[in-house]
Structure 1
Amino acid sequence: MTIDNAVMSFAGAVVLLGLLLGWLVTPYFYLLTAFAGLNLVQAGITGLCPAAMIFKRLGLKPGCAFR
């Protein structure tokens, strides 16, 4: 698995988890979904992604988007 795949999988899981918890527990969990979306936009603009940095330290291979 590359860093790109890991970041996209992690972001998707956070979005789905935020939606599920927002529906089942409290609507405040929708803020988690908003945070994930804002982080993706920020990473697209700046090229800096905290999740990519963590996955790189864990030893995942670089991909095209995150090196």
Structure 2
Amino acid sequence: MRRIREARGLSRQELADMVGRHVSSINRWEYGIKTPLLDGIGELADALGVEYTELIASTDREEVSA
């Protein structure tokens, strides 16, 4: 998720504002502390302009490389 967000030139705060969440939620999702619920994944995908499957796959790749 972070890779996609950064590629779009968005800060965590900007993404949080776009999806109506607190920036701490974005932080927890990016660091893998929490995962968004299904509706949150859809909101994030819409805000980032990707399919939800791409967002999920991106998250999986980031966890593997961490």
Q: What is the TM-score with the length of structure 1 in the denominator?
A: 0.31
Q: Which has the higher contact order (CA 8 A, sep 6+)?
A: 1
